[in-house]
Structure 1
Amino acid sequence: MTSATAADYGWIRSSSSLFAYALEVGYTLTLVRGILPEELLRVVGAEPRGVCEGSNELIEQHEAHAYGAEEWPESFIAGAFTGRGEGGDWTLALEFGGDLGTRPRLMEALSAGTRAVSHSSNGGKPMDFFHWYENGELRTTFEWPASRTGSTPDELTAVMREAGLNPTGDEAPDVDRKAAVFALAERLTGVQVTEQLLTEAEYGMGEVPEEPAEEWESVTIDITDAHGERTYVRLRRDRL
Structure 2
Amino acid sequence: MDATAEDYAWVRNETLRLTDAYCLTLTRGLSPDEVLTRWTARPHSVRRGYEELIEPAYEVAGRDLSDVLVGVTPVKDGDGGDWALAVEINGYLGSSTAVALSRGTRVVSHFRNVNAVGRFHLAEDGVEKAVFDPLFPAMRFGAMSAAVRREMRAAGFDLGKGDDRDLSVTLPAAFALAERLTGVRLTLGLLTNAEYLCGVARLP
SS in 2 for 1:113: coil
Q: 2:107 aligns with which of 108, 111, 116?
A: 116
Residue 59 (str. 1) matches residue 54 (str. 2): yes
CA distance in 1, matches of 2:131, 2:70: 22
* Structure 1 pair 173–146 and aligned structure 2 pair: CA distance change class (3 A): closer
Query: Does the CA contact (< 8 Å) of 2:49 and 2:195 recur in 1?
Result: yes
Deviations 1:128-159 (A, max 9, x none): 21100012110110011100011222111111
- Partners in 2 of 1:184 and 1:107 — Cα distance? 16
CA gap 1:98/1:82 in 2 versus in 1, 3 angstroms: same
Deviation at 1:168, TM superposition (A): 4.3
Indicate the residue corresponding to 1:10 in structure 2: 9
Deviations 1:53-109 (A, max 9, x none): 111211121122234x3xx52111000000111551110001012211222xx3223
Which of 61, 67, 82 is 1:75 aligned to? 67
Aligned-partner residue type, residue 108 of structure 1 = V
- Distance of 2:69 and 2:53 partners within structure 1: 8
Q: Is the 8 A contact 2:18 2:51 kept in 1?
A: no
Instruction: Tell me whether 1:181 sits opposite 2:171 in the alignment.
Output: no
- Name the CA distance, whole Å, in 2 between partners of 1:166 and 1:10: 15
1:195 maps to 188
Measured in 1, the distance between the counterparts of 2:98 and 2:118 equals 17
Q: Residue 23 of structure 1 corresponds to which residue in structure 2?
A: 19
Using the alignment, how far apart are the partners of 2:123 and 2:160 within structure 1? 22
Alignment of 1:217-228 (within 5 A): none
Higher-Rg member (1/2): 1
Structure scoring higher RCO (CA < 8 A, sep ≥ 6) equals 2
Which is further off, 85-94 or 193-202? 85-94
Alignment equivalent of 1:169, drawn from 161, 168, 185: 161
Paired residue total:
200
Given that residues 24 and 88 in structure 2 are in contact (C-alpha distance below 8 angstroms), is that contact kept between their aligned partners in structure 1? yes
**Runs of 5+ consecutive residues of structure 1 not aligned to the other structure:** 212-240
Q: CA deviation at 1:180?
A: 0.7
2:158 touches 2:167 (CA, 8 Å); kept in 1?
A: no
Taking structure 1 as the reference length, the TM-score comes to: 0.78
Instruction: Report the Cα distance in structure 1 between the residues aligned to 2:49 and 2:117, rounded to whole angstroms.
Output: 27
CA–CA distance in 2 between the matches of 1:12 and 1:39?
A: 28
Distance 1:42 1:15, change over 3 A: same
Q: Partner amino acid for 2:58?
A: E
CA RMSD, aligned part only?
1.8
For the pair 1:97 / 2:90, whether they are aligned, the reply is: yes
- What runs of 5+ residues in structure 2 fail to find an aligned partner? none
Distance 1:162 1:66, change over 3 A: same
SS in 2 for 1:156: helix
Structure 2 residue 199 is the aligned partner of structure 1 residue 206: yes
1:157 maps onto 2:149 in alignment = yes
